[in-house]
A and B are shown apart, each in its own frame.
Chain A
Amino acid sequence: MRRSPLLTLTALPLSLTLLAACGGGSTETPAAPAPSSSSETSSASQATEVGAAKTRVAVTYDGGVQVLDAATFEVLADVPYDGFARLNPAGDGRHVMVSATGGFHVLDAGAWSEPHGDHSHYYTAEPHDTDVVYAAEKPGHVVRHAGKTTLFDDGTGHVVSFDSEHVAHDAVEEDEAREYTTPAAHHGVAVERSDGSLVVTEGTEEARTGIRILDAQNTEIASNDQCPNTHGETVAAEETVVIGCSDGVLIVKGTEITKVTSPDAYGRIGNQWGTEESPIVLGDYKSNPDAEIDLTTRVSLIDTTNATLRLVELPGGTSYWYRSLGRGENGEGVVLGTDGQLHLIDTAAGTVTRSTPVIDPWEVQEDWQAPQPQVFTLDGTAFITEPATKEIHAVDIETGEVYASGTLDVTPNELTAVPGEVTE
């Protein structure tokens, strides 16, 4: 058996930052996110070497987060969190950002790699909360790009961006983070690009209007205010950023910002999924400004090479919600429809190429915080939760095969996964 324990001290150097707690921020002078503290000696005191990177899945439920082994869906840890928790990968392949009361909490999903010459060794340990918290009044979007993790506090407009690999030893406290505060607080998002420029939304609590591009010194170098209800970002090939508006998108290349208009006067794209390999971005699409629940049956494809946008009608009039989309390894788009099928979209051709039944039909809820089926795509797999049955499934995107399923003892809500290795 090749299962050798390592000392925590050498295996988990990033988890040992135990600094004094600070208070939260205020709206006037947003406090730098700071870690809370404890005398935690880490329940993950033993690291085990394993033969390959271990993907870890995290799901929220009412009361906390469960971390699962992605191959078996065995529950590896159950960590309580206060408030409605949202999940995002932290960007280092190992940690998960839990947006909950107090800010962005760094959860160690307990699987990582360490380089060993021209290959890596892989380790696992018990998942646990690291006690590092990036304080935020309303922790919002978490963006991972080009080795940076960028956090946006909707309550203050405070942006924090740092090397993703430093997430667990509190980049702010270590003075390794870039910070910026938008002129007014709003539900926003920011992405730091590889040249140090920051694309950040502009707006107030009442109206979001567009974006600004800041250079590495936070000086504005470009802007666009033609993006009503600005929401969501993604990065496509050649570091092209796509930002959603209620009448189209903004495509950002360098300092060039191009508006692409939706075919409908109100044609809202609020969430986008891009990959660094594909110039085409998948977006949601809503065209009924008056609906409580817009049971949209179309998704959008934005081609960043020629700044065009087209819509794809899902088969059988099926609808979806913004948490049921994703991308495959080969650039495919995936949409889990309310018909319970995973629809595969050829993003270049703009067609649905296959529909595979995965879960029972379901309905989009008015309350976005209510548990609904979610999709998270990673390395060619679509993880899919089914709150009605407390099930979770792994679907091979290329073939549509449901190759693993598990039943939880909690009702899953938010969903994410990390690969257990550095992938950028």
Chain B
Amino acid sequence: MRSAPLAGGVLALALLAACGSTDPPAGGEDGTTVVTTSHPLQYTAEAVAGDRASVSSVLAAGDDSHNTEISTRQVAEMVDADVVVHLSGLQPAIDTALSARPPQHLVDAVQYADDENDPHFWLDPVRMASLGQDVAAALSEVDPEGAADYEAGAAAFATEMDQLDADYATALAGCRDAALVTSHEAFGYLAQRYGLRQIGIAGVDPEVEPSPARVRDVLEVARENDVTTIFFEETANPAVAEKLAGDLGVQTAVLHPVERVEEGQDYLSLMQENLQALRTGLNC
């Protein structure tokens, strides 16, 4: 089920006059610009904008979405952009910059992160599809002549997300109530969508051998919840994996929060990798 975009999701901040720009209002031809503040938002905006608008990100390739650094140049890029797609609450420095110098049109994805303790709404493809509609609406406002293109882009994006959702739903159909034990509790929306139970473990860094006491804690969680795999957000160092394997044979696997994307990866590829990891790792 796709939730309808909420009214007010697109904050059209009509501050064009205040910008003092001598350029005509953006929206015509191919000059429309979109700045995004994390990879999932960039992925969405690119899908919706197609060739009609130029989409960039304030994050360099490989940067973490939690990265709070933002340069004067990046602030300027956001101010100059026709549309900014952002998730407020994730990056306080960017929130501050946007508040001080509001962009012309801001799509704030915060409505999709309705659990205030968890910003990672993008791990639910259904929420992503809705965001695509919001981006299309904002772009159509800026560039009315491109409205049909943006609508088509959003529809294609929704189809892609629907397919991803269907893949997850099918693959995980028998996993209702299965425990998803993770070192980073970023998968709440995903767990909610597909009926999994997310259980967080703290105190284990996949790169550093944990103390015996912490290993016991993790294995206790595994035993109590009848799980065979602990999910980390990066590949566990072999020594760590060996420790955790312990007597129970608990495996480690990677579940990517898609906060940071390396060369050759994108939202869809990582979500597909995640699905594969869940199919293999969940005890269902």
Contact of B216 among A53, A71, A398 (CB under 8 A): A398
**Interface assignment of A49: CB less than 8 Å from any CB of chain B:** yes
B contact residues around A398 at 8 Å (CB):
212-213, 216
Q: Which of A5-13, A272-280, A281-289 contacts B (4 or more CB under 8 A)?
A: A5-13
Q: Are B64 and A380 in contact (CB under 8 A)?
A: no
- Number of contacting residues on A, CB 8 A? 32
A5 to B69, CA, bound (A): 8
B contact residues around A119 at 8 Å (CB):
184-185, 200, 202
A contact residues around B144 at 8 Å (CB):
none
B contact residues around A207 at 8 Å (CB):
none
For B66, B116, B119, B200, which residue has the most chain A Cβ atoms within 10 angstroms?
Answer: B66
Contact of B202 among A1, A49, A53, A71 (CB under 8 A): A53
Contact of B68 among A6, A52, A71, A329 (CB under 8 A): A6
Q: Can you name the residue of chain A whose Cβ is closest to the Cβ of B67? A: A4
Contact of B204 among A49, A52, A399 (CB under 8 A): A52
Contact (A7, B234) CB under 8 Å given A51-B183, A398-B213: no
Contact (A10, B212) CB under 8 Å given A117-B118, A118-B117, A119-B200: no
Q: Can you name the residue of chain B whose Cβ is closest to the Cβ of A397? A: B213
Min Cβ gap B193→A in Å is 18
Q: Can you name the residue of chain A whose Cβ is closest to the Cβ of B216? A: A398
**Interface assignment of B246: CB less than 8 Å from any CB of chain A:** no
B contact residues around A117 at 8 Å (CB):
115-119, 185
B contact residues around A120 at 8 Å (CB):
202
A379 to B234, CA, bound (A): 25
Min Cβ gap B198→A in Å is 10
- Per-residue contact bits, chain A 1-30, to B (CB 8 Å; 1 contact, 0 not): 110111100100000000000000000000
Interface of B: prevailing SS: loop
**Interface assignment of B146: CB less than 8 Å from any CB of chain A:** no
Q: Are B200 and A52 in contact (CB under 8 A)?
A: no
Question: Which residues in chain A, 41-58, are within 8 Å of chain B measured between CB atoms?
Answer: 49-55
**Interface assignment of A121: CB less than 8 Å from any CB of chain B:** yes
A contact residues around B204 at 8 Å (CB):
51-52
Min Cβ gap A210→B in Å is 38
- Per-residue contact bits, chain B 100-127, to A (CB 8 Å; 1 contact, 0 not): 0000000000000001111100000000
**Interface assignment of A394: CB less than 8 Å from any CB of chain B:** yes
Q: Are A6 and B67 in contact (CB under 8 A)?
A: yes
Contact of A51 among B67, B119, B206 (CB under 8 A): B206
A379 to B118, CA, bound (A): 28
B contact residues around A52 at 8 Å (CB):
183, 202-205, 208, 210
**Interface assignment of A396: CB less than 8 Å from any CB of chain B:** yes
- Per-residue contact bits, chain A 383-404, to B (CB 8 Å; 1 contact, 0 not): 0000000000010111101010
B contact residues around A6 at 8 Å (CB):
67-69
B contact residues around A399 at 8 Å (CB):
212
Extra inter-chain contacts (7) besides given A51-B206, A403-B211, CB under 8 Å: A2-B233, A4-B64, A52-B183, A117-B185, A380-B211, A380-B213, A381-B212
A-B contact pairs, 26 of them (CB 8 A): A1-B234, A4-B63, A4-B66, A4-B67, A5-B67, A7-B68, A10-B93, A50-B205, A51-B206, A52-B203, A52-B204, A53-B203, A55-B211, A71-B209, A118-B118, A379-B211, A379-B213, A380-B213, A380-B214, A381-B212, A381-B213, A396-B211, A396-B213, A397-B213, A398-B212, A403-B212
